[in-house]
Structure 1
Amino acid sequence: MGQPKKKMSLQHIVKQRQEAGFVGREDRLIEFRANLDLPIVDRRFLFNIHGDAGVGKTFLIHQLRRIAEQRGTRCAYLDESCYDVPEALAAIAADFARSGVHLSRFERRYATYRQRRHELDVDPQTPAGLTHVFTKGVFRVGLHSAKLVPVVGAATELVDPAAAAEQLDRFRAFLGRKFRGPDDVTLVLSPAEALTPVFVEDLYDVAQDQTVALFIDTYERTGTFLDSWFLDLLAAKYGELPADLVLVIAGRSPLDAGNWSSYHSIIADVPLTPFTDTEARMFLARQNVVDTQVVDVILQLSGRLPLLVAMLAEGKPSNLADIGGRTGDAVERFLKWETDERRRATALAGALPRRLNEDLLAAVCDGGSLFDWLRCQPFIAETAGGWQYHDVARMSMVRFQRSTSPQLWRAQHRRLAEYYRVERATCGVADEDGWADPAWQDQLVEESYHRLCGDGAAALPAALSQFVFALNDGTTSARRWIDTMVAAGRDSDSDAVQGWGARLSANLSDQVGLLTTLLESGELESAAYREGLLLRGDAYRRAERFLLAIADFDKVLSRNPDSSAALARRGEVHWSTGSYENALIDFTRAIELDPKYGWAVASRAYLNWWLGRYETALGDFKRALELNPGYHWSVTLPGDIYRRIGRSKETLAKAQRMPGFDVSDAFAALGRGEIYWLMGRNEDALGEFDSIVKREPNFARAISNRGETLFLLGRYSEAIVDVNRAIELDPDSSYQQFLRGALITLQGQQELGRAEIRKAIDVVGRESRREPAEVLHLCHLTVYLAALGEWSEARNQLRTFLGRSRVPWFAAHALFDLRQLFHLPEICRDNVVELIEEVERSGSLG
């Protein structure tokens, strides 16, 4: 028989309340502690702390974390230093890692996301608007369906579903060419939805043997993007959450009652208000501040705000002489009471860095040895990666020091800037590679903040130049730099810095306008000026303002004729405007200047392939793959080339000998399947496509190809399932619409089938407008018109197709598609034969 449970002692309760710190908060700590001791089924799972600035939310949240950790709970903390859901998840994972808990699967997937985002941010081929998708949430792509969901963006613009669908189709096509598999496409188009399930899986594993608690602070800033994510999380959109999980969310306002009404039963509401008169007097009495007049002045100066009451009590004032009059700044009075000049100076200096640790304190003043004293002050809280002054305290101290000793204030900021410069050098990456390294970026951001504070307008050219490179890294980086400039302008009271911060913030969504303002300002350093021209040229190109794009690239080349980046990007514009020979000249010159410029090599290969110069393209594709194995289409397009030049039987062997070829890769299997397909080996093709779909259930192109292969094999009931799924995943595939019409016709529903084929004609019209150079659209249109019995128009389209393409492979493709018409009931076989004979007579087969 076990020992009877020992009752809690009075002394234990007293000790707990003494540890609580703030009078009036003990009940909150006891409630949280008791909740952790309850059986899981009886717990409150979400504590919502809310109240005005200075009321003690951050202090309380750290007290709650301390209690949780004492009970063996795994804890992670998040504040306002992130700008979107992926960054928030990464910050939580990083805080777990500091205590030895690794969300390993998430960490690997997030690293891939960062790499893919960087590749897109620096790729001039990235379509216009794709970065806008990342940063404004213009639309969302579901994980289990590729349907488009229009939403309201951050700028409150309503998205037109039809236009968004067409834009998403372009993005998918681009990303499908750029990356190796559909998972990467989902990852960059919908990172929160791709990363969260992995995060939840790891969280579930951590919670198998202990409670997990997430503490979310300053929710008034992060709730704009986290609120809907949390609601989706609780609704099991991303998988089942562990039962042994506690959330603590702190912000100025309570959670929205309308949005969170379904979760009322699991939420503990924790409103924080200023001390009551009684609570404030009790707190001061505990601090041995008992003089009635002193207490009255403190209550008046602090407004009974807990943070300020604690600060004013810190000096233990015993009479009015210790305080002075009844007016003035509370922080100044706190410092006045501190008789130790070294501590006073240390408290002031410690407010200058936005995050604090012992090394930073030593860099800014000689008070490094006082760090243990400073971090115990009531206006400082420990956060992830360091300590931080409360906003109310920091702003007051910054203003006080700037006004009383401006020269010292500037000198200390310069010392801090130098500290961060040295720290940045220890990251182990060269500056030109630093934008891919988050730690390097963090150091540079803080260095820039302190240089702007220390030197004001004189530091603007460097800061604005760095902003241009941040803009190239992506809008998330640019937003962080804008916020830094706004903060530096406010803290330094510099009109010039404040003005630029406001200007950049107001114009971030208009990249061309923003870059034009920067380029015309005369503030940019030469390297940043060239980078700005390149970025604006890319923006013009994506907006199809080709003459302006050429002008910007020409300006770069007039200053630096050996700029391979400007040459390659100008080559892209020439390609877009049909100046193919000029495009090849620019690509070739860029490659001569930089033989390892993989993107330029791949672009030249792709253009030669597109122009039908297949033998020339093969060499560049091989070279591009050697430079960057990530160019998966450097494997698949050579296979396409071999087919087009009539050497299909060589394709598999050639492809498998190429560097980077992976027989298990989905795109490689897709290429093999299509090779088998066009060689007439339909059973082999079906095996390849089937293997892909088993590994990648939402790979639209593989499902589409499997459906078409089943159609060719006469397995119509199976084919219609794949065709319907392919259309669900990719509504803008004209050939799938045609196949569905053909299959419905084979089921005896002729009118319904003809209506589907009419839809295919509408879709191929949109495809032709988007890709006017792709002659295969004309081939498909010929087949669709023939299927409807519109023979005269079908012949006209076929002749146009044959006149625009004299390459044997295209004619072979036309024969392949036309022969599928024989599957249709009631088709006029003689007319199909006439079309086939016209292809054979054209000489296009070689």
Structure 2
Amino acid sequence: MAGRGPSRQELIRRRRQSGFVGRQGELAAFRDTLRQAPEEAAQFLFHIHGPAGVGKSTLVRQMEGAAREQQGITAYVDESAADVVEAMEAISTQFAQQGLALKSFDKLLATYRQRRHEADSGAAGAGAATESMAGAADGVVTGPVPPASSPASVVASQVGLVGLGMIPGVGAFAGAVDPNQVAAGADRLKALLSARFRSHDDVQIVLSPLKVLTPAFLQDLAEVAQRRPWVVLFFDTYERIGPLLDIWLRDVLVSDLYGELPANVLVVLAGQSRLETRCWADHLDLVTSLPLEVFTEAEAHQLLAAKGITDKRRAEVILQLSGRLPVLVSTLAEARPTSVEEIGDPSGTAVERFLKWETDPARRAAALACALPQEVDEDIYRAAVDEAAAELFGWLRTLPFVTDRASRCRYHDVVRTAMLRLQRRQSPSQWSQQHTSLADTFQGWRLRLEEHTPPKDGWWDDERWRDYRRQETYHRLCADPHAALPDALRECLDAYDHGIATLRRWAQTLDRAGHDGSAIPVSSWGRQLLTALEEQNQPGVTVLTHLLTRGQLDAQGRAFALVLRGRDHRNADRNEQALADYNLALTLDPEAARAAYGRGVTYYDLDRYDDALADFNRAIELNPDDALAIAVRGVTYSLMDRHDDALADLNHAIELNPDHAWTITSRGRTYYEVDRYDDALADFNRALELNPDYTWAITIRGQANRFTGRYDDALADFNRAIELNPDHAWTIAARGMTYYDVDRYDDALADFNRAIELNPDYAQALAARGATNRLMYRYDDALADLNRAIELNPDYAWAIAIRGAAYYGVDHYDDALADFNRALELNPDYAWAIAIRGAAYYGVDHYDDALADLNRAIELNPRNGWAHYKKALVLHSMAHPDQTLCLTRAIELFTHDAADPSPQKALNGKGNLVTAYCAIQRWDDAGRYLADFISSGPIRGQIKAVLADLDELVQAIASAEEHVSPLLRRLENALAAAP
């Protein structure tokens, strides 16, 4: 059986290679490098540059063939790659076609695509926990409203994030960027992503795709390089893709930022411009510059001779028409005029002469018709040409000005531009008709796609659909720019809603259509949008402002633009500007559900819950099955303590979307608020079953475990959450509070220190550190932290009450009482503050006030043994007979604590029993519990607390001193021996 013959592409390549003339010196320099050992080759980065039509792409193809002759593996990247990730993907795809797949990179790329899709769609749930400890003593972490846009757009709409590798495809020198804005945007994006994904790695791959993908790409590239003598990467049309790739490519080639590049990797750049000096200035000595100009006369005559044109008169006409521009010399020679008579009048352009010399009218018409599409495959070809030329696609692909890549053909820009100009000039009406016909063709293909089930998140997520829509837009702009421009600008809003990269492609389409159709308003819009995307600190807002100001949008289009800009303002915490945009959007289009939702979320962010509810109600009225809006309204009800309404909404939202982890976690939080702990934990567990490493769910479950006394479980959850997101200050502080609860003060301080290091103005962590220092009798440190926390948040009741307790600890009773009064003004039912204010009143002999406070504290929390004990001391000072009853109740509660499964709570109970039994003068019991207390290994703070209580008892009951003194000595010895 005969072997399989060469492909059509291979035959075309052979034909062109055999007929290649000129540029021999440049090609020879490249071949010389291929003949050397990689470690000896000084040249590894070639830069071909020169004006359009001088043969850069042709030379690239020759170099590619030379590399493959040496058993090398090659890849070609051009302007079809919209960013660095797509460039790496193109290389990987071509390597796989040559039998050497980049498997690890491909797997990681698939993960990136999936995680990016999840981030854009919100499929993984809402954002991270807010930076609030909700009073630190009794709060539970709250998750923010899911963003009205993808997390990626939160930052992409604000800053280019130049150089961070966070949003692939942003130019290296895209204008001045405020570094503070970049940092703030990066932090916000990280916070939004940190709770969505299964691991810190998933956050990083969306946050910084280049930093994650490039090392894997280089590792796989190194494996390929071990199996082939040379790996050659070609980057064509570099004047267009250079701004997107420059920084990344430079770092890959000359630094070890992403890893090492094998020595047998060569890179060839080809473009009209010289390399960007600001990027490459320090490395130009590594670049082998290959400048190209028009053919010399000798080179031009050599090419003509190779095509069979040796007649001097014919050659002179061709050289005159072509200006010795290689693409035109080759194009004219291809027609092979056989006589001077065929040449005729040498006036006109080279392309016009080429078409005149083509004797087959079907071919001539096909060549012109196929210049109209931006690129051509066989389907597009058949749609563009007359029936007589339907079978000539193979011929078209052989033409010297046609480049065949990835199953689609493109005309050389010089030839295509001339052919388009010729057709516009000869018959404007036919020009319009042909473009309209092509637009209708792409529309038909798009509509046929729409007959099928749309993707989950709409047709804009379908790559084929987007391509059809974009090509349709291009041809309508060419056919009738005045009529089509408003619709094209309106499409830019949908494109931006899909993402910055999609909007960039639409802006490029406007630019190209305006240039090709000689429509200045269209090309002007394309350039404006591209400039905004590449040079502004806030590209999204700038683009939308341009469109709103001069974009000829109708009322609904203006409303949509305002919704998108309002979203961007809200994501950047510019809430007043967001509200202004949403208000105007709803004025223009009262039926705009997204405007109502977005304004509601903005009100939510501003704690204006009544206004938020009104907008969520309207959004749900307009779209009754909007599960997200229903869920967010439920969360708003929860924050307003309307828990029944909250649960009704959250239940409904979960019915509509049973596997939405954020909604399930939010319902769990609401269950927690109404003390339905089993239901709460069931929801947290379900959310984590759906997403095992969902940081927010882990964190809030940890908080629930903490407040229900399951400290070991709480610590396990916080440890896991911190493992997933090591720099999340709230979670670290929450773990610190758990250590605080179990009297592991050194561990607590370590966490609070770390949280404050991450966020120096973190009032809750400062207050918690102050509270810990108070319990460790470091009153100066405690007061410094608490003063700072209250300075940051003057109405922070918990911090104010703890500062009062610190003042109480150093006998500053007036300051203590002032703080307790302020804390209770802010929170009248704050039982702990009421109890300790009662103790302070007792310290200044205000027994009636003390008794009133302690009674109120016991009413609020009847199981507060400490309040019962303090009340007994007050009653003793008032010679009231109920003191024994109070002591008995205190001992009962302390005994219950001493039997608690929590070692720390049990230890505190034992210490309190020592003091209570001394107060009731049951000395043997006091001694027995003291021995148990000391043998249980109390920390220094716990020992000091019992010492302070016994000292206070001796002051209150002088007759107890004789029996208490031995106990005090034993405690002092234990304190001296404590670590």
Query: When the two structures are superposed, what TM-score results if normalisation uses the length of structure 2?
Result: 0.69
Output the CA distance in 1 between the equivalents of 2:753 and 2:560. Answer: 47
Find 1:436's aligned residue among 435, 440, 461.
Answer: 461
Instruction: Name the CA distance, whole Å, in 2 between partners of 1:513 and 1:265.
Output: 39
Mapped contact 1:685–1:709 kept (Cα < 8 A): yes
Letter in 1 for 2:247: S
Distance 1:195 1:753 in 2: 47
Check whether the contact 2:693–2:724 (CA below 8 A) recurs between aligned residues. Answer: no
1:116 Cα deviation after fit: 2.1
1:85 aligns with 2:84: yes
Offset at residue 448 of structure 1 (A): 0.7
Q: Equivalent of 1:418, from 431, 434, 440?
A: 440
**Alpha-carbon spacing, 1:589–1:426, altered in 2? closer, same or farther (3 Å):** same
Q: Secondary structure at the match of 2:698?
A: helix
What is the CA distance between 1:250 and its match in structure 2?
1.9
Measured against aligned partners, the alpha-carbon deviations of 1:390-428 in whole angstroms (never above 9, x if no partner) come to 111111111011111323322221222122223324544
Moved more, 183-192 or 118-127: 118-127
**Residue of structure 1 equivalent to 2:21:** 23
The alignment status of 1:401 with 2:407, answered yes or no, reads: no
State whether structure 2 residue 615 is matched by structure 1 residue 612.
Answer: no
Q: Conserved in 2, the CA contact under 8 Å of 1:20 and 1:29?
A: no
Q: Deviation per CA, 1:483-518: give whole Å up to 9, x if none.
A: 212222222223554455456556676767865775
Deviations 1:416-449 (A, max 9, x none): 2122223324544549811122221111001110
Give the 3 Å change call, closer, same or farther, for CA 594–173 of structure 1 in structure 2. Answer: same
Distance change in 2, residues 1:786/1:634 (3 Å): farther
Q: 1: distance between equivalents of 2:813 and 2:418?
A: 82
Q: Which amino acid aligns with 1:217?
A: D
* TM-superposition CA deviations, 1:789-834 (whole Å, max 9, x none): 99988877776665556798xx88x999x99xxxxxxxx9x9xxx9
* Structure 1 match to 2:111: 108
In structure 2, the CA distance between the partners of 1:276 and 1:293, relative to structure 1 (3 Å rule), is same
Mean Cα deviation higher: 792-801 or 588-597: 792-801
- Are the equivalent residues in 2 in contact too, given 1:418–1:447 (CA < 8 A)? yes
| SS in structure 2 of the partner of residue 388 of structure 1 | strand
Deviations 1:157-179 (A, max 9, x none): 34152x55455544444444666
Residue 772 of structure 1 corresponds to none
Where does structure 1 lack aligned partners over 5 or more consecutive residues? 1-14, 769-774, 820-827
Residues 556 and 566 in structure 1, CA contact (< 8 A), matched pair in contact too? no
Contact 2:440 2:472 in 1 (8 A): yes
What is the match of residue 555 of structure 1?
A: 587
* Partner residue in 1 for 2:319: 299
- Aligned residues of 1:507 and 1:514 also touching (Cα < 8 A): yes
- AA aligned opposite 2:460: W
Distance 1:261 1:301 in 2: 39
Who is 1:531 aligned against? 560
Q: Is the 8 A contact 1:564 1:590 kept in 2?
A: yes
- Which of 471, 478, 481 pairs up with 2:506? 481
Kindly report which structure 2 residues correspond to 1:158-169, keeping only aligned pairs within 5 A, or say none.
Answer: 158-159=177-178, 161=180, 164-169=182-187
| Pair 1:603-2:620 in alignment | no
Q: In 2, distance between residues paired with 1:465 and 1:735?
A: 47
Compared with structure 1, are the counterparts of its residues 623 and 520 closer, same or farther at alpha carbon in structure 2 (3 Å cutoff)?
Answer: same
Map 1:214-233; keep pairs closer than 5 Å: 214-233=233-252
Maintained 8 Å contact 1:760/1:784: no
**Does the CA contact (< 8 Å) of 2:156 and 2:540 recur in 1?**
no
Cα distance in 1, alignment partners of residues 324 and 377 from structure 2: 30
C-alpha distance in 2, partners of 1:61/1:569? 51
Report if the CA contact (8 A) 1:364-1:413 is conserved. Answer: no
Amino acid in the other structure paired with 2:681: L
Deviates more, 1:379-388 or 1:88-97: 88-97
Paired with 1:723 and 1:230, the residues of 2 have a C-alpha distance of: 42
Larger deviation, residues 457-466 vs 62-71:
62-71
Closer, same or farther: CA 750–781 of 1 in aligned 2, 3 Å: closer
**How many pairs were matched up?**
794
Cα distance change of structure 1 residues 546 and 60 upon mapping to structure 2, 3 Å threshold: closer
Cα distance change of structure 1 residues 372 and 564 upon mapping to structure 2, 3 Å threshold: same
Say which is worse superposed, 213-222 or 31-40, in terms of deviation: 31-40
Match of 2:39, SS state, is helix
One-letter amino acid of the structure 2 residue matched with residue 116 of structure 1: A
Q: 1:540 to 1:429 in 2, by over 3 A?
A: same
Q: Structure 1 residue 751: deviation in Å? A: 8.8
Distance change in 2, residues 1:127/1:516 (3 Å): same
Q: Could you say which residue in structure 1 is the equivalent of 2:494?
A: 469
**Contact 2:630–2:653 (8 Å) recurs in 1:** yes
1:245-282 deviation per Cα after TM superposition (whole angstroms, max 9, x unaligned): 33322222344567446767865443333323332232
Other-structure match for 2:61: 62
Q: TM-score, normalised by structure 1?
A: 0.79
The residue that corresponds to 1:825 in the other structure is: none
Structure 2 equivalent of residue 823 of structure 1:
none
Q: Tell me what 2:617 maps to.
A: 588
| Distance change >3 Å, CA 657–CA 288, structure 1 → 2 | closer
Q: Percent identity?
A: 37
Partner Cα distance (2:806, 2:60) in 1: 69
The residue aligned with 2:306 is 286
Is contact 2:619–2:629 with CA below 8 Å preserved after alignment? yes
Q: Any gaps of 5 or more consecutive residues in structure 2? A: 1-12, 127-144, 838-842, 863-979
Pairing partner for 2:156 from 133, 137, 149: 133
Check 1:731–1:86 CA distance in 2 against 1; reply closer, same or farther (3 A cut). farther
RMSD: 4.8
Residue 674 (str. 1) matches residue 703 (str. 2): yes
CA distance in 1, matches of 2:500, 2:532: 12
1:107-145 deviation line (CA, Å, top 9, x unaligned): 2312321442355999863599954536842466689xx
Partner Cα distance (1:355, 1:839) in 2: 85
After superposition, the Cα gap between the structure-2 partners of 1:507 and 1:252, relative to the gap in structure 1 and judged at 3 Å, is closer
- Are the equivalent residues in 1 in contact too, given 2:77–2:234 (CA < 8 A)? yes
Shift of 1:301: 3.7
Match of 2:927 in 1: none
**2:410 match: secondary structure:** strand
Distance 1:815 1:237 in 2: 59
CA deviation after TM superposition for structure 1 residue 67, in Å: 3.9
The alpha carbon displacement at 1:355 in A equals: 0.9
Distance 1:207-1:378 versus aligned 2 partners, 3 A rule: same
Structure 1 residues 844 and 369: alpha-carbon distance in aligned structure 2, compared to 1, 3 A threshold:
farther
CA–CA distance in structure 2, aligned partners of residues 628 and 70 of structure 1: 57
Q: Which has the larger radius of gyration?
A: 2
Q: How far does residue 470 in structure 1 lie from its aligned partner after superposition?
A: 1.7
Q: CA deviation at 1:363?
A: 0.8
Give the Å deviation of 1:354: 0.6
**Structure 2 counterpart SS, 1:545:** helix
Task: Give the Cα–Cα distance (whole angstroms) in 1 for the partners of residues 515 and 785 of structure 2.
Answer: 61
Deviation at 1:389, TM superposition (A): 0.9
Cα distance change of structure 1 residues 784 and 589 upon mapping to structure 2, 3 Å threshold: same
CA contact (8 A) 1:135 1:475 kept: no
